[in-house]
Amino acid sequence: MTLAPDLRPDPALAARAAAAQPPMTLDADAVLGAAHRHATRRTAGQVVASVAAVGALAAVVVNFPFAGYGTAAPAWRTSGPTATDQVPQAVGEGDLATMADGVRAVNVPGPAQAPASGAHAALPGATAERDLGLTGPDGASVQLLTSDPGPGGSARLRVVYTDGSGTPVGSTAQLPAWSWAGGEDSANDASWARVVPDSSHQLDAALVPADIDNPRAFYWTVDGSSYNWQEVPTFDTGNGRLITVFTTTGTLPHKSGLAFVGTHGAVVEAPCPAVASCTSISAVPGLSDALENYTDHGAARLEIIDQGVEDAERALSQATTKADREAAQTALDEARAARSHVTITTEG
C-alpha cells in the first residue's frame, strides 16, 4: 500500500486560511498521540459505485484485553515476537454484532464447556466447546471446538454447525479443522473458510495471522456495481489465536473479500475459500485508502487532514470581508478534497 510521502498540511492551503484566521498550532507528537487514541473508534464505512447507492453504516469498536474471557494467554504466543500485540476487537457492546447486509458476527463467545459426545467426530481430541450464539438453517447452532496443544503438539480448532443434541451436521465437512504449533510459520498465516448450506445461509470463519500488531478484520462484498465494506469483530479462541466468525442470512453476496489490517501498516488479504468467488482490495474503489486509515500512519495523516478541515471551517465562519470569505472558502474546498481523497464517499 503506497503512502503519501508528505503528510503535512498543504502550505498554500494553510496560508489562505491564515489570511482570515490564524491557524491552530499542531504539535506533531500530540497529533500522533491523538491519532493512536482515536484509531480504535474509526467508524466502519462503505463504498458504492456511481450507479448504485447503499445506506451508510457505522460501528463502534470496543477493545477487550487479550484473554479477557477468562482464559490464559498461551505460552507460545507470549514468548513470540515482542512487537506483536493482539487483542480482540468487538463491534458494539453485545455478545453478537448485528451488521449490514444480513451479517451477524461474534463479539464474545460463550464459556468453554466439555465437548458434546459427537464433537470428537468433528475434531478428535477436542478439549473445549463454545457456543457462538449464531444460528443456521433448521435451527442449527454454531459451535467452536478447540484442543489445547500438548507437549510438542499442535493446537487445533474447528467451527461447526450442530443440531439440537450438539452433534455436528453434514455441512460442517466444508469447514476445515485448523492446526498449528508454537513457532510454526503456519501460525502467522491467514486462513478463511466458508460453508453455504443453502441459498439463504452462509457461515464464514477466518483465523487472524498471529504476527500482525493490533489486527482489525474487514469484510467487503460486491454485487454488480455496488461495493460494501464493514469491520467485523474478532475474538480469542482460548487456545492461541484470534478468529472472526460471522453468518449471512438472506441475499448472499456475489463476490466478497476479507483482510486483516495491523496498526504498523501490515495488510493481509485472506486466501479465498474454495466455495467463494472473491475480489481483492484493489478491485474496490477507495478501499485501500480507507483501510490505511486504520494504521497508525494513516490515522495520523487523517487526523492532520481533519484538523485542516476544522481550521478552514472556523476561518470561514469568522471571515468578515468578501476577500476573506473567498479565501477561506477556497481553503475549505481544498481541505475537504484532501479528506475525500483518503476516505470512502457514498454517491447516488
User: d(Cα 214, Cα 38) in Å, to the nearest integer?
Assistant: 14
**Looking at residues 247-254, what average pLDDT do you find?**
94
Distances (CA, A) of 64 to 25, 108, 152, 318: 34, 10, 30, 43
Between 75 and 241, name the one with better pLDDT. 241
**Looking at residues 212-225, what average pLDDT do you find?**
90
Characterize 291-320 residue by residue with b for buried, 16 or more Cβ atoms within 10 angstroms of its Cβ, and e for exposed.
bbbbbbbbbbbbbbbbbbbebbbbbbeebe
Q: Indicate the pLDDT class of residue 257, thresholds 50, 70 and 90.
A: very high
pLDDT of residue 150: 67
Q: In the 8-state DSSP scheme, what is residue 126? A: -
What's the mean per-residue pLDDT of the chain? 75
pTM of the model: 0.70
Beta bridge pairs of residue 180: 155
pLDDT of residue 26 exceeding 50: no
Residue 90 makes CB contacts below 8 A (sequence gap 6+) with 61, 62, 63, 64, 97, 107, 108, 233, 235
Pick the range with the lowest mean pLDDT from 174-183, 187-196, 280-289, 314-323. Answer: 174-183
Q: pLDDT of 309-347, one tens digit each?
A: 999 999 999 999 999 999 999 999 998 888 776 665 433
pLDDT of residue 282: 92
User: d(Cα 292, Cα 114) in Å, to the nearest integer?
Assistant: 41
Between 326 and 61, name the one with better pLDDT. 326
**Looking at residues 166-177, what average pLDDT do you find?**
75
Spans of all domains in the chain: 7-42+293-348, 65-284
Q: Indicate the pLDDT class of residue 294, thresholds 50, 70 and 90.
A: confident
Nearest to 215 by CA among 238, 198, 232, 194: 232
User: d(Cα 50, Cα 253) in Å, to the nearest integer?
Assistant: 19
Q: pLDDT of 230-248, one tens digit each?
A: 999 999 988 878 999 999 9
